[in-house]
Amino acid sequence: MIDLFFAPTPNGWKVTIMLEECGLPYNLIPLNIGTGEQFTDDFLAISPNARMPAIVDPDGEDGPIRIFESGAILLYLAEKSGQFMSQDQQGFYLVCQWLFWQMANLGPMAGQASHFINYAPDGNDYSKSRYLNEYDRLLGVMNFQLARTQYLAGDYYSIADMASFPWLLPYKRYGFNLAEFPHLKRWFDELKQRPLLRKGIDTGKDWRPEGSPDEKTRKLLFEQTSAIYKDR
């Protein structure tokens, strides 16, 4: 059984979606990032970046395997299960390019937009508009692609779709209307009807704390430096 170190975030949910969709059994191990559990020596041995998700699979080809970074985890699970990834070269790289697009574009831009909306209400207006404008552009990229293909990487549902879907969930909070992106809306509405995707998205929703973080928690979440690695 795969151990999944998890926090209820879009990056965590795309892994729970995949695990549910491909039917691999997993053991959910929550870490409280607000109290610093991600900085323990045991977890840093699995995820040196002190971020979740991360997995430990005791049944790797050459023994137990540890993987951090959600994109790498999705690729591993696709290979392990033989599902949601094309087996031919062209299809494989179509999926990879959209998976990496999410990792390098949609996720970081949506994450920064979320930060300035949720945690910096008095922050620089330029910062908010910068990331919201880029989020808008990226929705346009997806809409453009989905006008030509049923799913992001072609005519079949893949890990590329699983990776991007959770980052669309807060679109209303960001002030967007998916009706302005009809092909993207068609894709979003279709995917949200998938029972196992919904199960993956619901994982850990009740764990999220209510209200704004206190000062100690803010420092743990947003003021990390290289000091956490000194003397280890």
Kindly state whether residues 61 and 129 are assigned to the same domain.
no
Kindly state whether residues 77 and 99 are assigned to the same domain.
no
Residue 4 has pLDDT above 80, yes or no: yes
Residue 209 has pLDDT above 70, yes or no: no
Kindly state whether residues 16 and 61 are assigned to the same domain.
yes
Kindly state whether residues 96 and 176 are assigned to the same domain.
yes
* Percent of the chain's residues with pLDDT above 90: 74
pLDDT band at 222 (very low <50, low <70, confident <90, very high): confident
The predicted-structure confidence for 67-125, as pLDDT tens digits, reads as follows 999 999 999 999 999 999 999 999 999 999 999 999 999 999 999 998 888 777 676 78
Domain annotation covers residue 65: yes
Kindly state whether residues 14 and 45 are assigned to the same domain.
yes
What is the structure's pLDDT at 24? 97
Kindly state whether residues 116 and 66 are assigned to the same domain.
no
Phi, psi of 65 (to 5 degrees): -125, 135
Kindly state whether residues 180 and 156 are assigned to the same domain.
yes
Domain annotation covers residue 201: no
Residue 208 has pLDDT above 90, yes or no: no
Domain annotation covers residue 198: no
Kindly state whether residues 153 and 133 are assigned to the same domain.
yes
What is the structure's pLDDT at 103? 98
What is the structure's pLDDT at 120? 77
For 87-103, give one letter per residue: b (16+ CB within 10 A) or e: eeeebbebbbebbebbb
What is the structure's pLDDT at 33? 82
The boundaries of the domain holding residue 47 are 2-83+206-229
Domain annotation covers residue 157: yes
Residue 203 has pLDDT above 90, yes or no: yes
Residue 211 has pLDDT above 70, yes or no: no
What is the structure's pLDDT at 100? 98
Q: What is the CATH number of the domain that holds 11?
A: 3.40.30.10
pLDDT band at 232 (very low <50, low <70, confident <90, very high): confident
User: What's the N-to-C CA distance of the chain in angstroms?
Assistant: 30
Domain annotation covers residue 222: yes
What is the structure's pLDDT at 121? 63
Neighbours of 61 (CB within 10 A): 8
Domain count, the chain: 2
Q: What is the CATH number of the domain that holds 120?
A: 1.20.1050.10
Kindly state whether residues 100 and 153 are assigned to the same domain.
yes
The predicted-structure confidence for 164-181, as pLDDT tens digits, reads as follows 999 999 999 999 999 999
Domain annotation covers residue 73: yes
Kindly state whether residues 97 and 16 are assigned to the same domain.
no
pLDDT band at 206 (very low <50, low <70, confident <90, very high): confident
Kindly state whether residues 113 and 180 are assigned to the same domain.
yes
CA dist 157 and 152 (Å) reads: 8
Domain annotation covers residue 159: yes
Could you tell me the two tokens for 80?
């392990």
The single residue listed with the structure tokens 């072609």 is 154
Kindly state whether residues 113 and 171 are assigned to the same domain.
yes
- Interhelix angle 125-146/107-118, rounded to 10 degrees, is 140
Residue 207 has pLDDT above 80, yes or no: no
